[in-house]
């Protein structure tokens, strides 16, 4: 759509958005490695059993996602530079590849450690401390 309209594609990224809530059930599931076991069982493609397990897991996942604990993470919107392309000469695949590359570079620059609750909370409290220091002084 952007190439047809000849408008720039601007990569956007919200840092720490996944860290603003913590689900103890899913955390325990991942910690015990049950996700890999689930994938292994599904990949066996056992008739009827695989479909039943997928249905059961989808229902359980839906219900478990409501059990969340809010985390005081600092959420920041990062806006990257527009993706430069020539609509007449560049193919859509090359524009998509460039846009994905620019978005990943933006993520790597502003959240290089990946998903980390401790870094998200630390950033929140550093921001609050700076705010109160400026306000008091």
Task: Report the C-alpha gap between 72 and 123 in whole angstroms.
Answer: 10
Looking at the predicted structure, is the pLDDT value of residue 1 above 90?
no
| Structural contact between residues 26 and 64, judged by C-beta atoms closer than 8 angstroms | yes
Q: CA-CA distance, 107 to 114, in Å (whole number)?
A: 9
pLDDT band at residue 125 using 50, 70 and 90 as cut-offs:
very high
| Torsion, CA 104, CA 109, CA 115, CA 120, rounded to 10 | -140
The pLDDT value given to residue 84: 82
Q: Which residue has the tokens 């219900």?
A: 63
pLDDT score at 8: 84
pLDDT score of 80? 92
Q: Provide the pLDDT for residue 109.
A: 93
Average pLDDT of the chain is 88
Residue 35 has pLDDT above 90, yes or no: no
Query: What is the four-CA torsion angle of 89, 91, 95, 98, rounded to 10 degrees?
Result: -90
- Mean pLDDT value of segment 23-45: 89
**Digit-coded pLDDT (tens) for 50-91:** 889 889 989 988 999 889 999 988 899 999 999 888 777 878
Could you give the count of Cα atoms lying within 13 Å of 85 in the half-sphere of its Cβ? Answer: 25
76 phi, psi to nearest 5 deg: -130, 130
């Amino acid at each position: 759509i952007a190439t047809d309209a000849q408008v720039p594609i601007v990569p956007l990224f919200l840092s720490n958005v996944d860290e603003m809530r913590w689900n103890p059930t899913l955390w325990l599931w991942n910690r015990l490695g049950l996700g890999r076991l689930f994938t292994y069982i599904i990949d066996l493609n056992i008739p009827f059993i695989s479909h039943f397990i997928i249905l059961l897991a989808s229902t359980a996942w839906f219900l478990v996602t409501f059990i969340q604990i809010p985390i005081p993470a600092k959420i920041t919107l990062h806006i990257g530079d527009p993706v430069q392309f020539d609509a007449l000469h560049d193919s859509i695949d090359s524009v998509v590849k460039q846009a994905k590359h620019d978005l990943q570079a933006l993520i790597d620059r502003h959240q290089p450690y990946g998903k980390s609750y401790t870094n998200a909370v630390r950033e929140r409290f550093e921001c609050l401390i700076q705010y109160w220091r400026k306000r008091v002084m």
